[in-house]
Amino acid sequence: MGLKDLFRLRTREEVLGSKVLVCGLGLQFQEGVAADGGIYERYYRSVETAMFSEIRELMDAVSRSPDIIHLFCDVSPGGEIANPNGTPVVGTELLDRCCEFNVKLLWIASDNESGGYIAGFKARGKRMNLVMTLKRNDPKFSRFLDQILFRMFYETLCQLHGWTYPLKYQVPRIRTCRPQFFTLDAAV
């Protein structure tokens, strides 16, 4: 790659960096999608926000191979993702689809009970990162998400340039509870 390549015009399909999809399954999540999408846009060049009325639309969006999916949806106690206009889908089907199209991170961003996640999202043997939100604590969650993304961005920048990561930029209060499930404490 030469110096000219840095300044050439790029096509819409050519994406530098990670592709992010911030989406909601149902209109009740519009506000959350807009808020979290705005935070992702600070750190990623390619962020798409979308509201889906059917799971089929979500599955089609997964087939476009985003690197990160930040999803607002309702998960039933039985582990099914609620479909506003049709039959629900078990969470494992979404995980399988994400693995098929090489999604690196699936973040379920809405409030859901842990029993639903345990019952419907069988992640054993899947090669992807999965974050399951139990309680957003909404006024604090936006700041928390911003700090997490800043930390990821800053650490990556430091690694690329061989810099040392200063301790003052580390995000406090991230707790690991168990190897398969972890909680992120948004009480910062």
Note the pTM of the prediction, 2 decimals: 0.76
* 43, pLDDT greater than 50: yes
Span 65-75, pLDDT tens digits: 999 999 999 99
> pLDDT of 52-68, one tens digit each?
999 999 999 999 999 99
Query: What architecture is domain 16-138?
Result: 3-Layer(aba) Sandwich (3.40)
Residue 186 has pLDDT above 60, yes or no: no
Separation between Cα atoms, residue 86 and residue 54, nearest integer Å: 7
Q: DSSP 3-state assignment of 21?
A: strand
